[in-house]
Amino acid sequence: MELSGAAALVSGGASGLGGATVREIVARGGKAAILDRDGERAKALAEEIGDSAVAFEADVTDESQVQEAVEGAVQAFGSIRFVVGCAGIGWAEKTVHKEGAANLQPFETVIRVNLIGMYNVLRLGAAAMNGNDPDAGGERGCVVMTASIAAWDGQIGQTAYSASKGGVAALTLPAARDLSGRGIRVNTIAPGLFDTPLLAALPQEARDALGKGVPFPRRLGDPHEFALLACHIAENPMLNGETIRLDGALRMPPR
C-alpha cells in the first residue's frame, strides 16, 4: 500500500503510540482520522496537523460511536485504506490477595476495551475498506492492531491485561484469513516497554531503570519506532496474519 494520498483511521490516536502513528502517516503524505475518548486532545492534534487530519471523540467499545467515526472519516477523505488500533487500558491486581478474590469488574472492563474494543474497530474499519477499489495488487486495505509482550510474558498482577492482549494476538491470524478474500490484510504489533503516557507518571529514575532492563537498545521504546513499524506493515504487502514483537529482545520476568 502506498501511504501517500491514502487515509487512515487511528483509534487511541490522540497520544502515545497512536499519536506517533498519526504523525508518521501524515509525514508520509497520508491523511488521518484521529479517534479517541479524549475528544479535546484529539481535536488539538488535528488542528496542529491541519487539513490532513480530522478528530472524532469515540469510545472503542461503543458500536455507534465507532461507526459514526468511520463514516465521518470516509466522508472527510473519500475512503480509508489503513486502520490502526492503539486504544487500550491497563489494570494490576492479583487473582487472589489479602482481601480475597480479585474483583471481576476490572477484568471485564480491560477485556472489553482492549479486546472487544479492538475487534469493534477491526470489523467496522474493515467493512468500510471492503468498498474500496482494489489496487494493482488486489489490496483494499490494511489493519494493524496492538497487543503487548504481556500476551506471552505477563507479570504478577497482569492477568486481565495479559488475557486481553493475548486475545488480540490470537485474533490476528483468523481475522487475516477471514479478510483475505476481500484484499484486506491484518497484522498486530506487540510492543515491549515504551515511553508512553502510561509510564509518564513514573519518576524518571524508575523509567530509566525499566529501560536498562531491555537487552538492546537499553532504553524505553520511542512511540515513533512503533509508528515506523505500523507504516512499514501497511507498505509491505506480504506481511499478513503476523504478530510482531517490538521489544529490544526483552522477556519480562515474573515481577
Share of the chain above pLDDT 90, in %: 91
**What does the pLDDT read at residue 213?**
92
Cell digits of residue 191: 510492543
Q: What is the per-residue pLDDT for 201?
A: 66
In the annotation, is 119 catalytic?
no
Type of residue at 153: D
Q: Which residues pair with 143 in a beta bridge?
A: 83, 186
The catalytic residue among 161, 245, 246, 247 is 161
The domain spans of the chain are 7-246
Q: What pLDDT, in 10s, does the model give residues 80-105? A: 999 999 999 999 999 999 999 999 99
Task: Read off the pLDDT of each residue in 40-51 and give the average, rounded to a whole number.
Answer: 97
CATH architecture of 7-246: 3-Layer(aba) Sandwich (3.40)
| Strand ranges inside the chain, DSSP E | 7-11, 31-36, 53-57, 82-85, 96-97, 100-101, 141-146, 184-191, 243-246
Rounded-to-integer distance, Cα 45 and Cα 56, Å: 11
Local confidence band at 1 (pLDDT 50, 70, 90 cut-offs): very high
Q: What is the pLDDT of residues 115-149, one digit of tens each?
A: 999 999 999 999 999 999 999 999 999 999 999 99
What pLDDT is recorded for position 199? Answer: 78
C-alpha 203/C-alpha 218 separation (Å) is: 18
Q: Encode pLDDT of 156-190 as tens digits.
A: 999 999 999 999 999 999 999 999 999 999 999 99
- Alpha-carbon distance 231 to 191, whole Å? 15
Contact 87, 12 (CB under 8 A): yes
pTM for this entry: 0.96
